[in-house]
Structure 1
Amino acid sequence: MGFEDLVNKGKDALNSEQGEQQSDQAIQGAGDGFDKLTGGRFAEHTDGVQQHADGFVGQQDQQDQQQQ
């Protein structure tokens, strides 16, 4: 099994509903942790980064198809 096979398996896992939920939780948790460390001073920016990151991870292909 090569590197490309591993990448494809990872993409498939993230594109599942369970993978989407886990990636959402990870992104949310990272943002919440950052907000806690900074006392919420950058909360607006953190929220934007979380939304942007969520657009790159998970079921992005399905979201693009629904928008078209």
Structure 2
Amino acid sequence: MFVAEGAIVKSESLMKWILAGWLLFIVSALFFIAAAWRAGDMLALAGGVFFLIACFSFLVPIVGERKV
């Protein structure tokens, strides 16, 4: 049994899908950051960096719970 964002998740398979989804969000954030950097848009770059940090912060409880 795992806890993800306040909800109890019982399936290991479901937990893998949740983790895969967050990893895809991270990849998307990296592409967004690269596009903002290339365009020279500092506001979009800051937004991309904050989005990337948020994605990692949501992964902390998921990965931390899996280690226990």
* TM range, smaller chain: 0.3 to 0.5
Given the two structures, how large is their TM-score scaled by the length of structure 2? 0.41
Given the two structures, how large is their TM-score scaled by the length of structure 1? 0.41
Structure with the higher fraction of residues in strand conformation: 2
